[in-house]
Amino acid sequence: MKPHELKPPPGSKKKRTRVGRGEGSGKGKTAGRGTKGTKARGEVHLFFEGGQMPLIRRVPKLKGFTPPNRKVYGAVNVGQLEELGNADVGPEELRAAGLVRKRDKFVKVLGEGEISKKLSVRAHAFSESARTKIEGAGGTAEVINVAPSGNRPGKKRTK
């Protein structure tokens, strides 16, 4: 068999129907679209609901409430503190080690993992289990209090 003798199997190749080419073709006049109506005249987009207000526009855009002055904490586990090697650990050391992202203003220590070294840990918040593990190993857990800035957005400054 030679390449010029190859043919597709019978019935696999079918000519497309050319509509709107006169009454004699069998698909003339309305071209298989029926009579009148939107579908006979043009395309109907996918989410069209017949003129009713579409669902996507009926549903409200914004949901819920985000407090304007919420605190977002960067989390560090007790097990990670032991790997640092420092006896005195604070937010600056944690950022330098890459355990807390730079954009996290506050640091919270969580109780995942074990600790055997005596560490002095400073953070903005501690979980109860983290505090007991640090103090159980002979270390101290010191809470850092950051005073809120007086210049909040949306507030007018008074002299």
Q: Would you say domain 73-143 falls under CATH 2.60.120.10?
A: no
Task: Work out the number of other CB atoms within 10 angstroms of the CB of residue 93.
Answer: 16
Determine the residue type at 79.
Answer: G
Tell me, what's the pLDDT at 63?
Answer: 75
- Which class for 112: exposed (0-12), middle (13-18), buried (19 or more C-beta within 10 A)? middle
Give the domain ranges of the chain: 73-143
Tell me, what's the pLDDT at 6?
Answer: 95
Tell me, what's the pLDDT at 85?
Answer: 77
Q: Which residues of 42-71 are buried (b: 16+ CB within 10 A; e: fewer)?
A: eeeeeeeeeeeeeeeeeeeeeeeeeeeeee
| Predicted confidence pLDDT, tens digits, the chain (159 residues) | 899 999 999 999 989 999 999 999 999 999 999 999 888 988 888 888 988 999 888 888 877 888 888 888 999 999 898 888 778 899 999 999 999 988 888 999 999 999 888 999 999 999 999 999 999 999 999 999 875 554 555 555 555
Going by C-beta distance under 8 Å and a sequence separation of 6 or more, which residues neighbour residue 111?
77, 78, 127, 128, 129, 130, 132, 133
Q: How far apart are CA 53 and CA 106, in angstroms?
A: 46
143 contacts 128 by C-beta, under 8 angstroms: no
